[in-house]
Structure 1
């Protein structure tokens, strides 16, 4: 941008010099008034072809031809600068988009966030806090500008999330999960249908305002559906019935000085702690995390072993639920994995 500023400044100086030279030339050659000389200079430099203010002498005609040639050259420089500026902006934008697309193509096991509204931004904040790579899809350029001010390194696809081409551009086939929180309920249903068709194994979480839409989202392929109305009502009731618990959770999850997160991890077959008891694994001592529950592989999704005892055996496929700070949670996968 600084290069173009200098170029435009140089062109402006050149035009100003020609105006001064032309005005002084007509004052000296034709003896006109300052205003007539200035007017004749401007219409000559810009080649507009208006009538001369007075008949020209032979010396005046020669001077006008020379001034006209310099004026056409000056205007050509201006048009060239404007054209190159526009082309440069388009080229920079194209290169920036290409670099971003390459970064997206290098991602795997990432999250796709459809919609960059208030809910989408909250989801992104949590993903950033947990150092989880993600790609946003949003068709509103203004919303993307707002999000980019918060997340300067944001990877995004500008377009309609209901279109397969944009889901593909966001790497839906390589993603581990997708969150759809678009403003229109039918759009969320359509995103679930398209995403499930493109990736059978990813986890899909959808937002629903209307109660009738919840079942449709599940049938469209969503694994989990979140209703702000239901969750908001539960929170309001909890604030009346158990206010100190809600206050503690707010401090634990939102406080600047104390930021706790719940996280899960699956024990692999080649894990160092597979086959050991919880006491032998010494997970709290090694990571500082608190083990809240264990979901055994043989159990269904509704059954958990809460507050597991030290004699609980950790088997391959088991999922452990822990509570701790983000930096402690980041070390969890390395400790649990092989």
Structure 2
């Protein structure tokens, strides 16, 4: 892997590739931007040219590399380097950091088209040299992937506001988190919060146990689960028997990130409702006038003996001063006419006040909304720049009520907030009264995402006294500073949830997984070990094809979590009728909605047309993808029967130090 960049994101991605995925990385940085030191798997090279020229890319090994990440902050620099790298190695996978999303999408199409032309030429040359036949490529996924650090960091920041954690994985638009449960929570059977997530995807029906933690009820530090070297040793992907046997251990379960439904008294209106058109005082005054008109109509009906509808009609004529004077009429009729005239004088200013209030409400609805009365349980989002706008969209998709605070009325996120009908408070958050206007005292979380670290920190310090139980998440540029701020705030407020987030730290996993290929969805750390989530085609997996979901589960190595139903069933015949099912469980067809199906029957047989989401250890995923995994010293492969079609039965055991 080759990583080119000039900021902390490049170093983070290189460390992620080396530590999590055990890849050999060459980090190409500008001269003088950092220490030129080599690590066990990361070799740092300095270049005087930005973008790097052909010599620098060749020395970094682009000709032999599997993937190249271009992470410069200038889109033009990344594009120039991408064109050069595609010419040097048409089969390399490119990952570009682009701020202009439209330009990035067109760049990806152009580079993929250039890759396709080069591969066709290679195939023709191979066929010509072989005297006919079919040429084969090197098997690399040479797609071009364009990412933005704002887009990749937004899901983790949104999950922080909802659940307080950034250990999440995105699968088909669904946010999944790895939640740790203490042994006491397992005994009480506290629900895991697997509500159906928005977007049409079905969330896991029950908590899926990903790992058994080394900590127990009587041993919170985890000494009981330590190995001989003293390191913590959680048990990844255990089977049901292991989970039952380790009743005193904490667990890591897979849950869907979803927002709790709004309480009956909670306001989540997206537009100007009838209650917001008129103030309570005007509404009460109009109600009083209506009651007085009804009383006058009934009194006229009783005293004059006229028909009720005619009496109401005369009352309205008197009210609007368009009736004939009651000269020569009975005294009761004359008195009622005078009272109706006085009531009409009261009604006129009320109609004017109501019209002005309704006009103002409609003008506010067309512009920026103010936080509605009685709003509570919302998220206060500070800053509507690139990061803040992406997080706003993510929270809106999750159905979380948001109030934005922005100082610049021309910020790029103001238009998104107006379109989404999200309340916005314009003002400097460091000034008194701005956070109060955002109703911070009734909020559930504060996301401080401005580009100024001091502003984010000051906002957190101002909000904490107003709401001691507030969940606070800060965006801080420097990782060391973020760690220091987190520890200090935790020491000052031990009972409150405080999170410090660096965008480079949040975005690095997404860029690293893109360099590994589109089949990798993400990775989640479990103590000192790592679980990797991937989307795999059964046609490329002889170890899984023809087996049931239960038989394909290999404890400690991999586990099938979901079935992708977004493509038609290849087993359908020409008449649209499904072939006979190979086993119990769901089958998919073109008429079914797209998404991931989590409630898989253990007896469902996997056939070559399926695409599944698996959770695996690093060694287990390397075995599934065909990359060799070295066996740990003193370990022997478990005796597992080979799947149908695989007569070799070769198995690679998980590494003992799988980190």
TM-score, normalised on structure 2? 0.23
| Greater helix proportion | 1
Question: Which protein, 1 or 2, shows the higher relative CO under an 8 Å CA cutoff with sep ≥ 6?
Answer: 2
| Greater strand proportion | 2
